Copies of this chain bind each other. A is one copy, B any other.
Amino acid sequence: MVSPPPANGHAPTHGPHGSLRVAVGQPSLPVGDLSGNRQRITETMQWAEEVEADLLVLPELAITGYPPEDLLLTPGFVDANLAVLQDLAGVAGSCVTVVGFVDAVAEHAVSDSAPRYLANAVGILYGGQVRGRVHKVLLPNYGVFDERRYFASGAETGESGWTWAMHGTDVGVLVCEDLWRPDVPDGFAVDGAQALASANASPFHRGKAAQREAVVTDTARRCGMPVAYANLVGGQDEIVFDGGSIIAGPSGEVLARAPQFEEANVVIDVPLVHPTSQRPRRFVCRPTPVAKQPAPPAPTPGTEMEDLEEVYQALVRGVADFVHGQGGESVVLGLSGGIDSSLVATLLTDALGPDRVWGVMLQGPATREVDIADAAEQAQRLGIAYDHVSIEELCRLETGAISDLLGTTSDRLGASVEGVAPRLRSSMLLAVGENRDAMLIATSNKTELAVGYGHLYGDLAGSYAPLADVPKTLVFALARWRNSAKGPQLGSEADTEPIPERIITKEPSARRTPDRPDRELPASYAVIDAVLERLVELAQSPDEVADAGFDPDVVQRVADLVEANEGTRQQAPPGPKVTALAFGRDRRQPLTSAWRPRITPPGAERPSTDLVPDPESVLEG
């Protein structure tokens, strides 16, 4: 369509075949909050009407939040989401709204014996009605995704692949994963679409925003079409959606980019370089354009965040949404004077404000004076509540009771009583937290969870573990990054250097018992984290890691520790995924498994990696 001449200095972007005014919205849409989501989507729709957008694209499963998991199998849930869709249709005026919901479909036999009755869908709303729907074709079932558990595919229901006429423009509508394999968007190009509208729920990990932007801009360039890409924002248990919705132009240029990790709307006139195909279409609204006010000034596309800022903000958003999502407001944590609890306290202060954070130093037998001083200094810098009590006498008494039970003396208990102090701490923190309605936050990091350097029910305890996917070396990097960042931009009252330098640089306290050298860490954190990244995130074999120059004994020891601590991880609190492969729903390991990948000894023959049964032995009759 052709917009009217600009009424002021802001010339809309025109292509040879006019333009379309496209809006994308990324409101906060928590899982299951159907009435809240209805309200926030309604407000976004009203905004889109005000700016005279032709098209508003909202995220995937916007009505239910993502991922709803087995709520989808809960009676009433899908019906309630359909009722919200109808309510939203009533709000829809002359802007075409594409909004994610769960559609109820006829029974579909898919690839197993259980029929599916649902589709991951977007509704197309216009003029008070649901004018159409599109079902997602590609249903991700890898990594953190399990969509085949619930949905029939648009390829099975037949409700996909249609190009819609909107205000005289041919628009292809698709859902998330459908953009990640070229066949679906290319099909729209072949069908003569002039633009693509993509509803998404694409979770964050390091580097994901750049990867996602490449997919969007590559598609736009390849198809010569603008692409409006709406993404969710907010933390949902183990995943964080970072928003960062994009509108790309037909040459693959980024025309607009919404901020990451916060609610936002963007609107822009996008140029159309292909003519309307004149083919018959499913149409949803008036076939011809109308005169309208010029679009608001096209915002300069913001730049993507730097790596460390992105991770830090993911952690802040993740923990804030978890605490609030559980109906909580305040948190308590153990402050040990170490880097992990200091970084977590800083994250919590940035997420919730200093008045909602309570740090407690529970001084045990191994606590050093320097740690007590640093914990107090940490709390003081953040302006959070702080208490300090000793549990030394309690530890002594419990250790004595354990000795009695074992019929031995305390000095022969060795490593078996290492957990006494951390578990007394978690017990006390849970009690005081319950008394003051404060949620216990765990301070364990990914490296500890990987190699078992932490006590289940003790220092690993808590409702949420913000660092669960943050390796130790990244903990240090984030602390340094936060100290170099400006406090106010993070919404914190904290000093611009919130973490005392000594906490970052001092020697860590030895937490293991001297008589159990087998339980010491097998190398420095730098080496362990590098080995872990290869073993876990890059899924390399121990041989491959050793070939990259790491000590084979260290590699084997780390691999063994990762395997041995699966049971501990499966009982540890959830935390936000920030790496390419997190423990938890992203990496599903049998707890009981006899499989132990071993380094091939020097001189021994490597196991073949190309062993398949001999096809010649299969004889056709």
A interface residues (Cβ-Cβ under 8 A, vs B): 30-34, 36, 67-71, 73-77, 79-80, 82-83, 85-86, 89, 103-104, 109, 111-114, 123, 129-133, 138-143, 145-149, 153, 155, 165, 177, 180-181, 236-237, 280-284, 321-322, 325-326, 360, 387, 389, 391, 393-394, 397-398, 401-402, 404-406, 413-417, 419-420, 423-424, 426-428, 430-432, 434-436, 457, 461, 463, 539-541, 544, 567, 570-574, 587-595, 597, 607-614, 617-621
The answer to whether B402 and A431 have CB atoms under 8 Å apart is: yes
Name which residue of chain B comes closest to A140, CB basis.
Answer: B112
> Considering the chains assembled together, what is the distance between the CA atoms of A402 and B423 in angstroms?
14
A331 shortest CB reach to chain B, Å: 14
A559 shortest CB reach to chain B, Å: 10
The answer to whether B427 and A69 have CB atoms under 8 Å apart is: no
> Considering the chains assembled together, what is the distance between the CA atoms of A432 and B417 in angstroms?
8
Q: For residue A143, which residues in chain B have a CB less than 8 angstroms away from its CB?
A: 114
A498 shortest CB reach to chain B, Å: 24
Question: Provided the pairs A74-B539, A109-B181, A612-B104 are in contact, do residues A149 and B138 lie with their beta carbons within 8 angstroms?
Answer: no
The answer to whether A74 and B597 have CB atoms under 8 Å apart is: yes
> Considering the chains assembled together, what is the distance between the CA atoms of A614 and B397 in angstroms?
70
The answer to whether B148 and A111 have CB atoms under 8 Å apart is: yes
> Considering the chains assembled together, what is the distance between the CA atoms of A414 and B432 in angstroms?
11
Name which residue of chain B comes closest to A156, CB basis.
Answer: B111
The answer to whether A594 and B32 have CB atoms under 8 Å apart is: yes
Q: For residue A32, which residues in chain B have a CB less than 8 angstroms away from its CB?
A: 590, 593-595
The answer to whether B614 and A130 have CB atoms under 8 Å apart is: yes
> Considering the chains assembled together, what is the distance between the CA atoms of A555 and B572 in angstroms?
31
With a 10 A CB-CB cut-off, give which of A67, A103, A463, A618 has the most chain B CB atoms.
A618
> Considering the chains assembled together, what is the distance between the CA atoms of A415 and B325 in angstroms?
24
> Considering the chains assembled together, what is the distance between the CA atoms of A572 and B132 in angstroms?
44
A412 shortest CB reach to chain B, Å: 9
Question: Provided the pairs A146-B588, A404-B389 are in contact, do residues A82 and B280 lie with their beta carbons within 8 angstroms?
Answer: no
The answer to whether A67 and B590 have CB atoms under 8 Å apart is: yes
> Considering the chains assembled together, what is the distance between the CA atoms of A131 and B621 in angstroms?
12
Q: Which of B80, B284, B593 contacts A607 (CB 8 A)?
A: B80
The answer to whether B592 and A322 have CB atoms under 8 Å apart is: yes
> Considering the chains assembled together, what is the distance between the CA atoms of A147 and B148 in angstroms?
10
Q: For residue A587, which residues in chain B have a CB less than 8 angstroms away from its CB?
A: 70
> Considering the chains assembled together, what is the distance between the CA atoms of A608 and B401 in angstroms?
60
The answer to whether A618 and B74 have CB atoms under 8 Å apart is: no
30 A–B contacts from the bound complex (CB under 8 Å): A31-B590, A31-B593, A32-B594, A70-B588, A74-B539, A74-B595, A74-B597, A76-B607, A76-B609, A77-B595, A82-B613, A89-B613, A111-B138, A111-B141, A111-B155, A112-B142, A112-B147, A112-B181, A130-B617, A131-B619, A133-B618, A236-B590, A325-B593, A402-B428, A406-B435, A406-B436, A416-B434, A416-B435, A427-B427, A570-B574
> Considering the chains assembled together, what is the distance between the CA atoms of A77 and B587 in angstroms?
15
Q: For residue A145, which residues in chain B have a CB less than 8 angstroms away from its CB?
A: 112
> Considering the chains assembled together, what is the distance between the CA atoms of A592 and B70 in angstroms?
13
Q: For residue A79, which residues in chain B have a CB less than 8 angstroms away from its CB?
A: 607-611
The answer to whether B588 and A574 have CB atoms under 8 Å apart is: no
> Considering the chains assembled together, what is the distance between the CA atoms of A620 and B415 in angstroms?
73
The answer to whether B416 and A420 have CB atoms under 8 Å apart is: no
Question: Provided the pairs A111-B153, A398-B427 are in contact, do residues A592 and B461 lie with their beta carbons within 8 angstroms?
Answer: no
A64 shortest CB reach to chain B, Å: 8
Q: Considering the complex of A and B, which 10 residue pairs feature the smallest CB-CB distances, nearest first?
A: A32-B595, A325-B592, A33-B594, A32-B593, A416-B435, A75-B541, A113-B180, A457-B457, A130-B613, A423-B427
Q: For residue A610, which residues in chain B have a CB less than 8 angstroms away from its CB?
A: 79
Q: For residue A83, which residues in chain B have a CB less than 8 angstroms away from its CB?
A: 607-608, 611
The answer to whether A595 and B34 have CB atoms under 8 Å apart is: yes
Name which residue of chain B comes closest to A415, CB basis.
Answer: B434
Question: Provided the pairs A457-B430, A590-B236, A614-B130 are in contact, do residues A401 and B389 lie with their beta carbons within 8 angstroms?
Answer: yes
The answer to whether A611 and B177 have CB atoms under 8 Å apart is: no
Q: Which of B69, B393, B427, B611 contacts A419 (CB 8 A)?
A: B427
The answer to whether A389 and B360 have CB atoms under 8 Å apart is: no
20 other A-B residue contacts (CB within 8 Å) besides A113-B181, A132-B618:
A36-B594, A69-B590, A70-B587, A71-B589, A73-B539, A75-B609, A82-B613, A103-B612, A103-B613, A111-B153, A112-B138, A113-B140, A113-B180, A130-B613, A131-B618, A133-B618, A148-B148, A237-B591, A281-B621, A406-B435
The answer to whether B282 and A597 have CB atoms under 8 Å apart is: no
> Considering the chains assembled together, what is the distance between the CA atoms of A283 and B474 in angstroms?
58
Q: For residue A574, which residues in chain B have a CB less than 8 angstroms away from its CB?
A: 570, 591
Q: For residue A595, which residues in chain B have a CB less than 8 angstroms away from its CB?
A: 31-34, 71, 74, 77
A534 shortest CB reach to chain B, Å: 11
A569 shortest CB reach to chain B, Å: 11
Q: Which of B236, B283, B406, B431 contacts A592 (CB 8 A)?
A: B236
Name which residue of chain B comes closest to A598, CB basis.
Answer: B76
> Considering the chains assembled together, what is the distance between the CA atoms of A275 and B405 in angstroms?
72
Q: For residue A393, which residues in chain B have a CB less than 8 angstroms away from its CB?
A: 397
A422 shortest CB reach to chain B, Å: 9
Q: For residue A570, which residues in chain B have a CB less than 8 angstroms away from its CB?
A: 574
> Considering the chains assembled together, what is the distance between the CA atoms of A85 and B612 in angstroms?
9
Question: Provided the pairs A146-B588, A571-B572, A590-B31 are in contact, do residues A621 and B280 lie with their beta carbons within 8 angstroms?
Answer: yes
